[in-house]
């Protein structure tokens, strides 16, 4: 009998740890650079009346022997409904037969693989010895960014800003408990958070620049995470003009990443884009060139990251006996 394993979000959270996800995501970046993945562009549905969208993200990673399709929303106003901004479901498919191996909650997977992608970028693009982190936005994604940065940096100080005071204060309290050796503080402004910082991670749905060029010192690494749809941007374009820009996927980033608005306005051109992170991971291109260089990782989120993280959760669930088996396909 053909059975499909169903995993709830609670199951997935039990199964995944950041170190394993970091390694899987780093490996799949390399596989992409070596041309061993299939990943069509994201497909979007826009719910303009509700300030939201829905995305469909298919992929096939041959060397991992897995295919997956994720359906994910982004609704920034969901706080008013006591719902997450991002919710996702992932179907894991056996490429040999096309049968559905698993259906699982993909919200935590999305958060974990996004944090892991930022961590991989910091491994390859930040200055050695980077210890000061700024988080702009203190939602769920900030939690997994902290998890990843704790793996790849010698964290000493983290400054957090969020437009909602209560959110950033609660985040600082929680992270202070989980990372007692790290000095956590709630910044009064974005400028206060990012000045004199080694690594800046932006996690907002902003459609206008919120991080100013004058605030960014030489040697800073920036993870631009929030701009993941056309029209979104978080960084003043002058920062991009000064920086080495690395993207997760050239085609996806030019349409929906941090670079999409500056490209459309002609402020930068595609010649300004240094390359994809996978090329650096695979050794095809060098990473940071000097301690003075400003580096930017434009992260739009890749379906292949979801696939390998979902496979990790699936395999661990089988060993742990978690989930419910259902006969769905026949």
Query: pLDDT tens, 19-54?
Result: 999 999 999 999 999 999 999 988 999 999 999 999
Active-site residue, selected from the candidate residues 70, 232, 244, 311: 70
pLDDT digits (tens, 9 = 90+) for 97-106: 999 999 999 9
* Domain count along the chain: 2
Q: Does this model's pTM top 0.85?
A: yes
Note whether 69 and 215 are same-domain residues: no
Note whether 188 and 313 are same-domain residues: no
pLDDT of residue 1: 64
pLDDT digits (tens, 9 = 90+) for 128-180: 999 999 999 999 999 999 999 999 999 999 999 999 999 999 999 999 999 99
pLDDT at 329 over 80: no
Note whether 215 and 277 are same-domain residues: yes
Parent domain of 156: 111-301
Q: Which residue has the higher pLDDT, 201 or 328?
A: 201
Q: Choose among 295, 312, 227, 309: nearest CA to 261.
A: 227
Q: Choose among 20, 18, 33: nearest CA to 277.
A: 33
Note whether 42 and 168 are same-domain residues: no
Residue 316: active-site member: no
Q: How confident is the model at residue 229 (pLDDT cuts 50, 70, 90)?
A: confident
Q: What is the CATH number of the domain that holds 61?
A: 3.30.1780.10
pLDDT digits (tens, 9 = 90+) for 172-221: 999 999 999 999 999 999 999 999 999 999 999 999 999 999 999 999 99
């Amino acid at each position: 009998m053909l059975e499909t394993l169903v995993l709830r979000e609670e199951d997935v959270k039990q199964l995944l740890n950041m170190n394993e996800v970091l390694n899987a995501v780093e490996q799949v970046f390399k596989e992409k650079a070596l041309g061993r993945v299939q990943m069509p562009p994201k497909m979007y549905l826009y719910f303009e009346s509700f300030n939201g969208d829905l995305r469909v993200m298919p992929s096939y990673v041959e060397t991992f022997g897995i295919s997956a399709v994720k359906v994910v929303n982004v609704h920034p106003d969901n706080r008013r409904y006591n719902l997450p901004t991002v919710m996702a479901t992932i179907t894991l498919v056996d490429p040999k037969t096309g049968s559905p191996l698993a259906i699982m909650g993909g919200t935590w997977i999305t958060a974990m693989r996004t944090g892991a992608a930022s961590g991989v970028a910091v491994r390859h693009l930040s200055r050695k010895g980077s210890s000061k982190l700024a988080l702009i936005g203190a939602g769920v994604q900030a939690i997994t960014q902290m998890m990843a940065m704790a793996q790849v940096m010698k964290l000493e100080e983290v400054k957090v800003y969020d437009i909602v005071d209560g959110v950033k204060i609660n985040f600082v309290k929680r992270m202070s408990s989980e990372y007692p050796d790290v000095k956590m503080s709630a910044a009064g402004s974005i400028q206060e958070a990012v000045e004199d910082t080694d690594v800046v991670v932006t996690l907002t749905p902003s459609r206008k620049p919120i991080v100013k060029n004058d605030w960014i010192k030489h040697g800073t690494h920036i993870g631009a995470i929030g701009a993941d749809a056309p029209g979104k941007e978080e960084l003043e374009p002058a920062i991009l003009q000064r920086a080495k820009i690395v993207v997760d996927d050239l085609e996806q980033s030019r349409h929906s990443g941090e670079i999409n608005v500056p490209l459309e306005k002609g402020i930068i051109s595609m010649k300004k884009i240094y390359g994809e992170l996978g090329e650096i991971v695979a050794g095809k291109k060098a990473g940071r060139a000097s301690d003075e260089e400003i580096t930017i990782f434009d992260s739009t989120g890749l379906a292949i990251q979801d696939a390998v993280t979902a496979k990790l959760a699936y395999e661990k669930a089988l060993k742990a006996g978690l989930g419910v088996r259902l006969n769905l396909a026949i």
